[in-house]
Chains A and B, each alone.
Chain A
Amino acid sequence: MQPGPAEDRFWRYATIAPALLVFLVFTVLPIANLVALSLHDVKWIEGRARWTPVGLRHYLALPADGTYLAGVRNTLVFAVTAVSSQMLLGFMLALFTSKAVRGRLFYRTVFIIPILIPGIVIGAIWKLMYNFDFGVINQALGAVGIPPQDWLGTQTWALPAVVVVDVWHWTPFCFLLLLAGLESLPQDIYESARVDGTSAWQELRCITLPLMVPTLLVTLLFRLIVAFKVFDEVFLLTSGGPGKATEVISFTIYRRFFTEGREGFGAAMSLVTIFAIALVTILVLATARRRDTHA
């Protein structure tokens, strides 16, 4: 017996309701609260929170916050350099592993080790490696007669040093996704191409790369989102210094919101950042959709 239209509608709503409820409680409500917070100043008087409406004042104050602007600039530099390096390295490692005749499991295991290490441990490991007096990097340089460098303490080196740690940490993520993509490509195309006498370079440029674009875009999207939210590596290695050399948006939000207790201003910063990340996500997804449509 077929269910009637009313019964059908009931089950449709009943099955979607739990997911909708979770979405409402854990996404919509916190964001709505953040919006309300961003339009107020919060002060604690006699143990009670007093909310004073300030309109758009916090949003208008953002461009005047030099630390936030430095954070935006550094986050962009960080995201672009770290993610592009991870994509390139991850793709090269994935290609190498997919072509390897022997030891594939070994390579796969070794290449993913960094992603298994907790962020706090990574911070400690690299902080020791970068240490001016005892760090293994300066020890190695000393062995070949190069004077020690202050990797985390100079405006020149601090941000690149943090990028290196992020590349080391997250390249395995790109590697895993891209390897899965490579292994799922149809092999008959490669066989036909080989019959036609294509070189390895032509195979990569004309077959592998075009077929891998959806996987590359998804990987890029995931990594960009996480890179824009970078916090732990900066927190552990440099705390945003020296000066503002490694200040990133998440760290500025953390300072304003929690350390300084400026909840309204911190909320405005958070919302602008959420909006920017959403914009990047939409752009990448639109690119992927346009490509699918053309294909």
Chain B
Amino acid sequence: MRRGGAFTGYLRSALVAVGVLAALIVDGPPAWAAVKVEPIAVNINQSPWFDGFRKLVELYEKDTGNAVKLNVNPYLGSLEASRNSVRANEGFAHLLVVDNNWVVEFYAGGFLTPLTDLDPRFALEDGVNTYDDTIFWDGQARTFNRKTGKLLGVPINGNVEVVFYREDLYKEKGLKVPDTWDELMANAKALHDPPRRYGIVHYDDRNFVASNFVAYNFSFGGGIFRSPETADFTVTINGPNTLRAFEFYRELGRAAGHPSVGSISQGQAIEALVTGKAAHIVAVIAAWGQVDDPNKSVVVDKVNAALIPKGPTGIRASRAGHWIGVIPRNVPEAKKRAALEFLRWFQQREIQVKYTDFGAVPVRWDVAQSDLAKQRKFRFLPALAENSKIAKMPFPLAEARQVTEILNLRLNEAITGAQSSKSALNTSASEIHEVLRNAGYKTGKLPDLK
């Protein structure tokens, strides 16, 4: 009996083991399982959220025993480092963390490995934001498309624009969080008290104005191209809605903005907020790291983040400013698989909660439903989650940098009075149209604004 019982026990255990093994062979390891893989090198930029990423990598190494080496460079240096790596015969970086503004250069240049080519079962988890589907690339249409494109990356940093506002002053003046741009204008005017404090500070210099204008442009029903997702790149930047948005943007700056027009950088706008000079800024959430840091801010615990207001057409749009992790094609297969394992681990909800706790910006909207969001320190999470869902990628093409340069120059010229708004938009449209026509896109342009 005893022997028979022991034998049955062994048999049962063996059957269970075979069953588990079979399940693993058929389904592969579960997403959370630590898989031993080769060491990888990651190209990343030195930014306010980098420390959070570094801590998470340390956790990954501890949890899985897999080694990760970080190649850290300044913002533009990391672009050059990633370019050098993908253009070499064999890349020295196995995972590239690239800004959404550069990502199309890597997609369209054919430098990357689609993640589902590495593992057909790889998929984004439900809670992960796709930021206007910028992680899916359709090489034929040369644009982002979730349905027709391939999954080329996983978001690494969920940087999107939000409205930063002075919660303490709102309470003091009895203001409510703006739901529309007109309400934001009214609140900014109410808190405008120059030179002590400005109602709002735009970042509208030669490097940033095109980015800062995105939320206004899209929420007023404007745009840059007619329908990039269907490969229709007709230029619409000189449409009436964009003109209305731009006039509103300028009027907001004139009525309640900083007197230095056309020369404020993103860093200076954030500086204005943390030094108590700005009552509002519309900026990327990465700035939050400075807001509550007593070494950098005089407004600790006085600022909150809100959803971008809606425009006259009821549309809301936030500028996507996220970073994406992509795997180059010119690295050994084992390294690619190792990088994929890291991405698989990285996107899990509990890992993203820890990532947020480490000071980085999560890429999952459901982190806002975690216990972390109940803490005052993480009060920005609901606004981040909401704005992530309405994020717009304004330049969804390989020539993004050329288009951005044109818009930065022309909008900045209009803001500083070198030309009128209509003329700036018409000139932008003509120049962008020429770039696209030369690059072989299906394009056209609207008649000039009169």
List the interface of chain A (C-beta within 8 A of B): 44-49, 67, 132-134, 148, 150, 152-155, 158, 238-245, 255, 258-262
Contacts and interface: CB of A to CB of B under 8 A. Distances in A.
A266 to B, nearest CB: 12
Contact of A242 (B111, B195, B205, B275): B205
B88 to A, nearest CB: 10
Given A152-B263, A155-B418, A243-B418, A260 B110 contact: no
B416 interface: yes
B109 A243 contact: no
B206 A242 contact: yes
B206 A148 contact: no
B47 interface: no
Interface of B: 76, 80, 86-87, 105, 108-111, 195, 205-207, 258-265, 272, 275, 277, 329-330, 401-402, 405, 409, 412-413, 415-418
Contacts of A133: 195, 272, 275, 277
Contact of B205 (A48, A241, A262): A241
Given A67-B409, A240-B206, A241-B205, A153 B195 contact: no
Given A152-B263, A241-B207, 7 more contacts: A47-B329, A132-B258, A132-B259, A133-B195, A242-B206, A258-B80, A260-B401
B110 A46 contact: yes
B263 A242 contact: yes
Nearest to A43: B109
A155 B418 CA distance: 9
A243 B416 contact: yes
Contact of B263 (A45, A148, A153): A153
14 contacts: A44-B111, A45-B110, A47-B109, A47-B330, A148-B195, A153-B260, A155-B417, A158-B263, A239-B205, A241-B206, A242-B413, A244-B418, A258-B76, A260-B401
A205 to B, nearest CB: 44
B439 to A, nearest CB: 9
Contacts of B415: 242
Contact of A241 (B80, B195, B262, B329): B262
Contacts of B207: 239, 241
A171 B331 CA distance: 50
Given A44-B110, A47-B111, A239-B205, A155 B416 contact: yes
B262 A153 contact: yes
A242 B205 CA distance: 7
Contacts of B272: 133
Contacts of A243: 206, 262, 409, 412-413, 416, 418
A104 B232 CA distance: 71
Contacts of B76: 258
A44 B109 CA distance: 5
A26 to B, nearest CB: 19
A153 B272 CA distance: 16
Nearest to B195: A133
Contacts of B108: 44
Nearest to A67: B409
B296 to A, nearest CB: 15
Nearest to B408: A241
A244 B402 contact: no
Contacts of B330: 47
Enumerate the 5 nearest inter-chain pairs by beta-carbon distance, A residue then B residue, closest first: A153-B263, A241-B206, A44-B109, A46-B110, A242-B416
A262 B406 CA distance: 14
B434 to A, nearest CB: 10
A150 B109 contact: no
Contacts of B86: 47
A216 B263 CA distance: 38
- Which of B205, B260, B275, B415 is the most central at the interface, judged by chain A CB atoms within 10 Å of its CB? B260
Contact of B405 (A46, A242, A259): A259
B259 A150 contact: yes
Contacts of A255: 405
B280 to A, nearest CB: 16
A239 B268 CA distance: 14
